[in-house]
Each structure stands twice: as structure tokens, then as C-alpha cells.
Amino acid sequence: MNKRQFLKTSSVLLANGMLSRLVTGEQQSTARTNWAGNYQYSTDRLLLPKSVEEVQQAVKSSGKLRALGARHSFNGIADSTDTQISLKLLDQMVLDPKSRTVTMGAGVTYGRLAPYLDAQGFAVHNLASLPHVSVVGACATATHGSGSKNGNLSTAVSALEIVTADGEIVTLSRQKDGDRFLGAVVALGGLGVVTKVTLDVQPTFQVRQVVYENLSLGQLESHLDDIFASGYSVSLFTDWQNHQATQVWIKRRVEPGTSFEFAPEFYGAKLATRKLHPVAGHSAESCTEQMGIPGPWHERLPHFRMNFTPSSGAELQAEYFVPRNRAYEAILAVEKLRDKVGPHLFISELRTVEADNLWMSTCYQRPSMTVHFTWKPEWPAVKQLLPMIEEQLAPFDARPHWAKLFTMPPSRLKSLYAKLPEYQELLKHYDSHGKFRNEFLNTNIYGG
């Protein structure tokens, strides 16, 4: 933390009478931006409580507040013009093998959780492309991996502990709280500060991952469901050129007592004979093990390894969720923009996600295919392209990823979320004065 940040943070805490009780800021100097560096937070005030009691005090004494996770969102969803609070010091984990659940503090990332679970013989059902995100931050935005039968990461949440606007602790669970729980899991940070989360776990499993090269997109016209069902988790990468997926990543579970081989050809695509990075020409060193070598779930389900900077570093991301039964049409619609998209794109990824019942989930009651774009850090160009992509995908009622870049107006978002009015009621119930409201929520949830 630099001197200016320290003074600002200290003065807020002094004003709140909390300086002696709260850690006053980051230990080392960090820029106040998100991970990608494309979004600068609007405040220098960052609180780092060491306990749930300190979270309660911080919430009680703040006029406006926003929880910050691992800073991996690409837009202002975690921003505040007043104060942000990071729970990264709350990182305890407790496994309950009997109930097959794990409960953890909101500071825990998947990168910490996964080896802890695996060492005790357990696993979560899926992971995103990288493990560096916090569990609470990821679940708040409906972060997902791939797999036609796998719900997004939020679907594993079975209970939440939340400090709401009045500083009180509220616990909500799947078992006891019905609709209210379904509205609270993908809460976009709006309900309060989540201090603990409980996830379903299952016995640990092994996965083998292979990559096939050059799958004609034409194969998806008749075989899309089969292709995405050919592994526990399947991703297609495309640069939208030459009507092909440049790579198909297939992650298959190894079931005890059974064996299988990967065929040398997959719908005309060829099995890769060396490890590959999704972006042509990039070193595959940062990628998880391929070539069919078995390994624990958490070292195969993400594309990128924990100890490496994921993807290409400086980048922008956008992603849209379309109904799976119209996925091929949606692909063709985006492909029409290939000449415009090509120069600004690192790579696109197509994944599938199972439907769920979480009100603000991008997969709410819809088995989905996701169309993802990893862009070069060229925002002026990307900003022009997103409305074009959104227009192409409008006939499919595409929902944008909450944590990535989009330009869709709030009036359009409203029409895509049947439960939006109920979600607004829930926000009002727990936060009647809008303590946790920020510009992102004002625009996208209350605008339009």
C-alpha cells in the first residue's frame, strides 16, 4: 500500500473508530485494479478484516461497501466509490466427510481448496479454466467450467453465511430456505458480505485429458450434443477462421476398474502428439497435463496450472450463454463476424453447462452452450465488436457472463431474467438502504 492509500484508509478507519481492530490495508504495494488491469477501482479504501466480528463492525460502520474477491472480474461488478472489503484473511476450511460438504471462509480460492479436499479423498464437481478465483467470488457470478451434465460452480453451494446491511449474520441453506436460497447464491455481491460458504463434495477422482486438432465446425450441425458429451468436460477452441475448431480439449473421468483409450481421430480431428496451449504459438508450459496422462481432478479440470500466470496475461474477456438446442445456429451467427473479430481475438472457447434453478444464474432453467472470447487488450476495438456480437446472438436470448465485458442495455438484461423482480425484492429485504449497491447493480439490475 502506498502512502496515499495508507493515509486514506487510515483516516476512514479512524473516523469509524476501528483502526486498532482492523488490518488497515494490503501488506504489499498493489495497484488498485482488477487482475487484467483493464478496470481501475474507484476507491483506495480497502478493509482487510481478520474475523467475522470485524466484518460485522466494518459493515455496521460503513455507509457504502462492496466485497472484493480475487479481482478476476473484467467489469465493475466488485467496485465501490466508497469502500471495498476483502476477506482474504478468512481462509479456514473444514471438511465434513459424513455430510459430504466442506465449509470455508470467503478468502479461500479454488487453488487452496482443491489440494485440501483431494488430500482427504474428496473433490468438487467442477472447476473454472483457472483455479486462482475465490470460491465466493466465483459463485457470486455463476462462474462455470464445462460439461453437459455439470452445473456451474454455484450449483455446488449448499449454504451461505452472510453479514447483511445491519451487521447481523444471516445463514441460508438449500435445505431450509427454499426460494430465498435460490436467489441468494448468485447474488452478484448485492445481498451482503458472504463470510462462509458450504459446498457439496464427492469422492476424489482422476481425469485424463487429451487435445484433438482441427475439428470442422460442420460436424456440430449433427453431432454437437455427442461431441460435448464425449468427456466429463469438453472445450472447443476456435479463432472463427476456416470453419473449424482449432482444438478440442476432452477431459474424461477415469472410473476405477475400467479402462479406455482415446481414438487417434475424433469426428475428423486428429489427436495431438504434443502438449498445446489454446492460443497458437503460446507455450503450453502453463497448461494442465495433456496426452491422456491420468491425474487428480484439480490438476486436469482447469486449463491452467495454479503456479503459472494463466492465459496470456494482458487480455479482455466476454462470454455469452445460449440455449444448447440452438447452439449450432448461434455459432454460425457469430462466425459471420470472423473478419471483424479475427484481428482482435486471442481465442474463443465453446463450453456446455447444465441448467439450474438459481435465479440470477446465466444458466437459469436452460441447458447452455457458452461462447467465450479472450480478446487482445484493445478495448476501443472490443467495445465496437461486443454490440455486433450481441446483435448476432440476440435471436438466441444470449445472456452475458456477469463478470465479463458486455454492452447489452439493462432493458435487454431484464427480459432475460424471469426472476429479476424477485431478486430485487430479496435485495430490498436484506439491504433496504442500498449499502451494497454499486454502479454495476444500479445500471444492470435497477436501470432500464
Give the nearest distance from C-beta 97 to ligand FAD in angstroms. Answer: 26
Sheet with 93-96: strands ordered across: 93-96, 101-105, 193-200, 157-163, 169-173
Residue 288 in contact with ligand FAD, rule: CB under 6 A: no
Name the grid cell of 64: 457504502
Residue 70 in contact with ligand FAD, rule: CB under 6 A: yes
Dihedral class, residue 296 (left if φ above 0, else alpha if ψ from -120 to 50, else beta): beta
Q: Report how far apart, in Å, the C-alpha atoms of 330 and of each of 325, 337, 440 are.
A: 10, 12, 27
Which residue in the set 58, 59, 78, 250 belongs to the binding site for ligand FAD (CB under 6 A)?
A: 78
Name the grid cell of 72: 478476476
Residues 6 or more apart whose CB falls under 8 angstroms from that of 281 comprise none
For residue 383, the tally of other CB atoms under 10 A from its CB is: 12
For residue 14, the tally of other CB atoms under 10 A from its CB is: 12
Which residue in the set 32, 45, 72, 208 belongs to the binding site for ligand FAD (CB under 6 A)?
A: 72
Residue 87 in contact with ligand FAD, rule: CB under 6 A: yes
Residues 6 or more apart whose CB falls under 8 angstroms from that of 135 comprise 104, 106, 108, 109, 110, 113, 153, 197, 199
x-or-dash pattern for ligand FAD, window 194-223, by CB under 6 A? Answer: x-----------------------------
Residue 103 in contact with ligand FAD, rule: CB under 6 A: no
- 144/437 with CB nearer ligand FAD: 144
Residue 117 in contact with ligand FAD, rule: CB under 6 A: no
Per CB under 6 A, which region of 17-25, 139-147, 240-248, 261-269 contacts ligand FAD? Answer: 139-147
Which residue in the set 57, 83, 103, 134 belongs to the binding site for ligand FAD (CB under 6 A)?
A: 134
For residue 228, the tally of other CB atoms under 10 A from its CB is: 25
Residue 188 in contact with ligand FAD, rule: CB under 6 A: yes
Amino acid at 425: E
Dihedral class, residue 72 (left if φ above 0, else alpha if ψ from -120 to 50, else beta): alpha
Residue 276 in contact with ligand FAD, rule: CB under 6 A: no
Residue 144 in contact with ligand FAD, rule: CB under 6 A: yes
Residue 38 in contact with ligand FAD, rule: CB under 6 A: no
Q: How far apart are CA 89 and CA 46, in angstroms?
A: 13
Per CB under 6 A, which region of 187-195, 201-209, 242-250, 415-423 contacts ligand FAD? Answer: 187-195
Which residue in the set 95, 104, 123, 193 belongs to the binding site for ligand FAD (CB under 6 A)?
A: 193
Q: How far apart are CA 333 and CA 393, in angstroms?
A: 7
Which residue in the set 124, 369, 403, 427 belongs to the binding site for ligand FAD (CB under 6 A)?
A: 403
Residue 183 in contact with ligand FAD, rule: CB under 6 A: no
Q: How far apart are CA 319 and CA 141, in angstroms?
A: 12
Residues 6 or more apart whose CB falls under 8 angstroms from that of 429 comprise none
Contacts with ligand FAD by CB under 6 A: the residue count is 34
Residue 427 in contact with ligand FAD, rule: CB under 6 A: no
Which residue in the set 13, 18, 58, 68 belongs to the binding site for ligand FAD (CB under 6 A)?
A: 68
State the residues that interact with ligand FAD by CB under 6 A: 35-36, 66-73, 77-78, 87, 106, 128-130, 133-134, 136-138, 140-141, 143-144, 188-189, 193-194, 310-311, 401, 403
